[in-house]
């Protein structure tokens, strides 16, 4: 998990789910969703959905 946190920390602005998957070398699926949910619940990331995007294209800060 530490490498995932480092990948998120490298970019000081928001990342999309796909950018996170690419930066962390993850696969799209349940494991990634669980990881992002855990990081959200811990307060490490805050997802938000801009007006013109869907949940899968949301940004994470």
Q: Which CATH number goes with the domain that contains 26?
A: 1.10.10
Total domains in the fold of the chain: 1
pTM exceeds 0.75: no
What pLDDT sits at residue 39? 85
Identify the pLDDT of residue 5.
Answer: 74
**What confidence tens digit (pLDDT) does each residue in 48-58 have?**
777 777 766 66
CA 44 to chain CA centroid, Å, is 10
Domain of residue 54 covers 2-60
Q: Given pLDDT bands bounded at 50, 70 and 90, which one contains residue 12? A: low
């Amino acid at each position: 998990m530490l490498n995932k946190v480092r990948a998120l920390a490298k970019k000081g602005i928001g990342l999309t789910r796909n950018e996170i998957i690419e930066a962390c070398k993850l696969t799209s699926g349940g494991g990634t969703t669980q990881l992002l949910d855990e990081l959200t619940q811990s307060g490490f990331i805050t997802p938000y959905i801009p007006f013109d995007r869907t949940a899968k294209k949301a940004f994470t800060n």
